[in-house]
Copies of this chain bind each other. A is one copy, B any other.
Amino acid sequence: MPNPPRIVVDAMGGDFGPRINVPAAVTAAERGVDIILVGDEDAIRAELDKTRAPDRDRNLSIDIVHAPEVVGMEEKPSDALRKKKDSSIMVCCRLVKQGRADGLVSAGNSGATVAAAMFTIGRIRGVERPALAGIMPTEKDPIVLIDVGANVDSKPFHLAQYGLMADVLATHVLRIPRPRVGLLSIGEEEGKGNTVTKEAFDLLKGSHLNFIGNVEGRDIFTGEVNVIVCDGFVGNVALKVSEGVAKSFGKILKGELKRDFISKLGTLFLLPTLTRFARTLDYAEYGGAPLLGVKGSTIVCHGASNVKAITSAIMMGARYVRNKANDHIIELLEAHGDLSRYGRSGRKNKKSESS
């Protein structure tokens, strides 16, 4: 049997630091993942002591690597990376770069995590721009929205690469067979969109993917499509809009439910129902957004992540490594030759072939 994947966890990341990351790492270790915790050694040890009650203190594979600095959630990524060479996130990236770990998980400053992973660990062969794959629950299968913010001003060729990378994630990590891939646009007909999406449409149509054409914002939550491709500006807006609506909904509903005695009584009866409802919308289910296109596996988590979310992210990172997702990405990119050249010279021919 091969060695278990070894995942390095940024213990200082997120709004709660070791208090959340350490228990999550312990749970993942109990599920068979080798763990390296990076950050303030004393704080990590203190948290480990609290977490591992004597009866649970089995022979878990958890190492600690001390990192003297932390990148704050509000720090400007470029400054932070230049000034804090020994921050927990930089140490995490170096461990992956040196091959001492297979992947990393961080709920710290997202911009810094993305930048550190790109520049320290490096891109995999053939990828021009790594992209963040947001994974969201729907009424059916989860959906992958790519890119949710690593890149702005993407070119058509980048969008096509995002589609190929997310197809691998959906197939080999989320286990969705032959995922349906859509291009986010403002109308379903082929001619709809902006300059960039119209050209990306042709590239995706000519690819080996199960491309279903343009999809719209409202399709994100139906589960009819498994991968939605878009520029990082658009994807980030889409992600934050959906967070915003969900939050408002919750707030309004909560307010209404507290209004009077009858409402309270109704709430009591509905409690199990509302709890199930909340679980359906629980983003913690998938834990974090994989940064696709970088060597190893990098999972970027929300700063407000709880133990469940971090645990899920570690397990997803381990599955990513175990299923050799990066090898599949390299393979799929190679099968599509030089997409950028194809996009410029071969597009018209491809189009007339397939229609």
Among the 9-residue stretches A81-89, A214-222, A336-344, A346-354, the one with 4 or more Cβ atoms under 8 Å from chain B is A214-222
Apart from A241-B241, A266-B270: 17 A-B pairs, beta carbons within 8 A: A76-B189, A152-B186, A184-B237, A197-B233, A217-B236, A217-B237, A217-B238, A217-B239, A219-B244, A220-B241, A220-B244, A221-B245, A221-B248, A222-B244, A238-B238, A249-B281, A256-B273
We find that the number of chain A residues with CB closer than 8 angstroms to chain B is 60
- Bound state CA distance, A7 and B266, in angstroms? 46
17 of the cross-chain contacts (CB-CB < 8 Å) are: A76-B189, A139-B252, A149-B186, A152-B193, A152-B195, A185-B233, A186-B240, A194-B233, A217-B241, A222-B248, A241-B242, A245-B249, A253-B277, A262-B269, A263-B270, A263-B272, A267-B270
Q: Give CA–CA (A299, B240) in the complex, Å.
A: 28
The reply on A178 being an interface residue by CB < 8 A is no
What is the minimal beta-carbon distance from A62 to any residue of chain B, in angstroms?
35
CB distance from A149 to the nearest CB of B (A): 6
Instruction: Report the bound CA distance from A230 to B237 in whole Å.
Output: 11
Q: Which residues of B contact A185 (CB under 8 A)?
A: 233
Contact (Cβ within 8 A) B217 A244: yes
Write out the residue numbers on chain B whose beta carbons fall within 8 Å of the beta carbon of A259.
Answer: 273
A247 — nearest CB in chain B belongs to which residue?
Answer: B218
- In the bound assembly, the distance between CA atoms of A216 and B138 in angstroms comes to 23
Complex Cα distance A263/B249, Å?
A: 20
* Chain B minimum-CB-distance residue to A237: B217
Residues in B neighbouring A128, C-beta threshold 8 A: none
Name which residue of chain B comes closest to A198, CB basis. B152
Nearest 3 A/B pairs, CB to CB: A217-B240, A266-B269, A218-B244
* A interface secondary structure, majority: helix
The reply on A52 being an interface residue by CB < 8 A is no
- In whole angstroms, what is the CA distance A185 to B249 when docked? 23
A265 on the interface (CB 8 Å rule)? yes
**A246 at the A/B interface (Cβ < 8 Å)?**
yes
> Does A280 count as interface, using CB distance less than 8 angstroms?
yes
Residues from chain B with a CB closer than 8 A to the CB of A45 are none
CB-CB < 8 A to A280: which residues of B?
A: 252
Question: Does A232 reach chain B (CB closer than 8 Å)?
Answer: yes
Q: Which of B248, B263, B273 contacts A263 (CB 8 A)?
A: B273
Cα A243 to Cα B242 with chains together (Å): 9
Q: Is the CB of B257 within 8 A of A270?
A: yes
A251 at the interface (CB under 8 A from B): yes
- Is the CB of A55 closer than 8 A to any CB of chain B? no
Taking CB as reference atom, which chain B residue is nearest A245? B245
A46 part of interface (Cβ distance < 8 Å): no
In the assembled complex, how far is the CB of residue A191 from the closest CB belonging to chain B, in whole angstroms?
8
Are A246 and B245 in contact (CB-based, < 8 A)? yes
- Kindly list chain B residues whose C-beta atoms are within 8 Å of the C-beta of A76: 189
Instruction: Check if A276 is an interface residue, CB within 8 A of chain B.
Output: yes
Assembled-state Cα–Cα distance A219/B240 (Å): 8
> Is A244 touching B221 in the complex (CB atoms < 8 A)?
yes
Q: Does A80 contact B (CB under 8 A)?
A: no
> Which residues of the partner chain B approach A232 to less than 8 Å between Cβ atoms?
186
